[in-house]
Amino acid sequence: MSAVGRHSRILRTVVEPVPDPGQDDDLATALYREFGRPLLAFVITLTGGDRLWAEDVVQETLIRAWRNADKLDREPEMLRAWLHTVARRIVIDGWRSRRARPQEVEEPDANSVGVPDESDRTLAAMMLYEALQTLSAEHREAVLQTYVHGRTVNEAAETLGVPPGTVKSRIYHAVRALRRSLRERG
């Protein structure tokens, strides 16, 4: 059977009003079977990749087609165009309504509200302090000058009275020793 013949048979099912109330399900099924997937792919692009919203739009579009089945053109391309137009308008309405009102947020449960806790930060500072104590005085001073006081290598070299290359070397070895010491502490 040719594609046109197949479409005509399906569209007769889809478009012609059916007196038997039991065939309402057949109408909705035929609409979804014939146009659901391509319409979903189209709508996903309109919703910016939001698949759940796209599925809702496709469902609403097919419901509107089902409600207006007696008014729809029987030509497959015309029906496809109608479905795409309706879906696009539903998405546009959705975008407009999202911009018009703030996003809904649930009120937090009073028992689950997070209170800033400095214990992790304090514990990390204590571990770092202990690890710094394992360094030699020269390495520790190079780290303090650059990382804690925020000085450049040249500024630290001037403050410590050593060449910049020495400061770089001390920092390199100090950082490696700190990593090793912190790994041992967990």
Which of 33-47, 51-65, 117-131 is the least confident region?
117-131
Cα separation, 127 vs 173, in Å, equals 19
Q: Which CATH class is domain 118-184?
A: mainly alpha
- pLDDT exceeds cutoff 90 at 120: no
Cα separation, 97 vs 55, in Å, equals 18
| The overall pTM is greater than 0.85 | no
Same fold, 22-99 and 118-184: no
- The per-residue pLDDT for range 136-159, each reduced to its tens digit, is 999 989 988 888 888 899 999 999
- The per-residue pLDDT for range 3-50, each reduced to its tens digit, is 444 444 444 444 444 444 444 556 667 778 888 899 999 999 999 999
Q: What is the pLDDT of residue 114?
A: 66
Q: What is the amino acid identity at position 149?
A: H
Q: Centre a 10 Å sphere on the Cβ of residue 128 and count the other Cβ atoms it contains.
A: 14
In three-state form (DSSP H/G/I as H, E/B as E, the rest C), the secondary structure along the chain is: CCHHHHHHHHHHHHHCCCCCHHHHHHHHHHHHHHHHHHHHHHHHHHCCCCHHHHHHHHHHHHHHHHHCHHHCCCCHHHHHHHHHHHHHHHHHHHHHHHHHCCCCCCCCCCCCCCCCCCHHHHHHHHHHHHHHHCCCHHHHHHHHHHHHCCCCHHHHHHHHCCCHHHHHHHHHHHHHHHHHHHHHHC
Domain boundaries, the chain: 22-99, 118-184
Q: Contact at 8 Å (CB) between 182 and 131?
A: yes
| CATH of region 22-99 | 1.10.1740
Q: What is the amino acid identity at position 49?
A: G
- The per-residue pLDDT for range 87-117, each reduced to its tens digit, is 999 999 998 888 887 766 777 676 766 667 7
| Mean pLDDT along residues 77-86 | 88
